[in-house]
Structures are given as C-alpha cells and as structure tokens.
A and B are shown apart, each in its own frame.
Chain A
C-alpha cells in the first residue's frame, strides 16, 4: 500500500481563489511528520509547511495552511488567494518515527496550474 496518496494528478484554479491539495497517509507509527514541498519548473524543492503528529494545532505559514485530520489520516494543503507564481508541482511527504530521525517518503504529486 502506498504510504502517501495524492489523488489529484493535476488541478486548474483561477487566480485569487483558494486551493486545497489532498494528501492521505498510512502509518502505524504514533510519531511522524508531514511535509509539503513546492517544485517549480526550475526543479528546486521548496519547503512550505510541516505538521507533527503530536501537534495540537494545524500548521500555518503565510498563505499556506495544513488541514490536519489525524483520525482520517489526511493532511491537505490549503493555499489562500492563489497567485500565478503558485503554478508548480506540489508534493506531500512523510517522515515516520521520531523527529530528526529519518528520510521522507513522497507522494506522486499534484500539478497545480493557476489561470489568470
């Protein structure tokens, strides 16, 4: 079974609208972390936001927020007021085990295109 599932291969969104990118995960480890990265066409991996499994509140970073629903094992990324520069691949990833301990498992990604 896939550990990280991103069900939206591609999305088209109008500029200034809010965007929700879906991510579900599968782990039996009580300690884990969830990450979102943005990869523009230039190829670099840009860290957006992190949520730890024991964090009580949903993470937020500027226009990015993470809708963490632990019981449903989902960690959706919400981008408010989308901009043309948000067009990119977005990857959800998970670290299993204690913080600082391990590499990441990535989902297949969602290709987001913001239309003017």
Chain B
C-alpha cells in the first residue's frame, strides 16, 4: 500500500491499551473539528466530530476532547485493536460558512499484538 505516514509523529501501543492522539489547531475562530482515520492505500475515513460549543463527545470506543483555551484537540481510543493501526489526523473548519477544512499532518498509530 501507499506510504502516507513518512516523517509523521508516531505512537506505538500494545493491543488492549488506551491510545491518546493529540492535535493542536491554530485558528481560534474554528468552530468545527473532525478526526479522520487513514489506513494504508485508502482514503481518509470519518471517525468523529465535535463543535466548538462542546468540550467532549463520545462514540463507539472513541472520545474526542476539545480544549479551546489552549486550542487543543485529542482523540482517545479505548481498548486499542490491531485494526486501529493507521494514520489519524484532525481537521478544523476555520469558522464562517465556507465549509473548507484545514487538515493536520497526522499521527501514525501502530498497535502491537
């Protein structure tokens, strides 16, 4: 598959552990944030989103936390599985109604069995 994870920050965890992936965003006017998962050779896949009027949102095995004070976003994956191995990146809508997203460079998560 295509190597899209070169020179990325990496996180290596053991199967069953919890994973935390972090993202710093730059625009204090951003009002919508998304986490994507990208497996090798595939397109980015939507995981979970959060709006700026919230500080936490939970999905299935995933939780997104938003700290607007320090412009920080995190993705927590509970009981990480080998199938979670992928590049994860955040995206922000920099406010307004232009529906354009700015993407982070990503973090490569490797889950060891």
Chain A complexes with chain B: no
B interface residues, Cβ below 8 angstroms from A: none
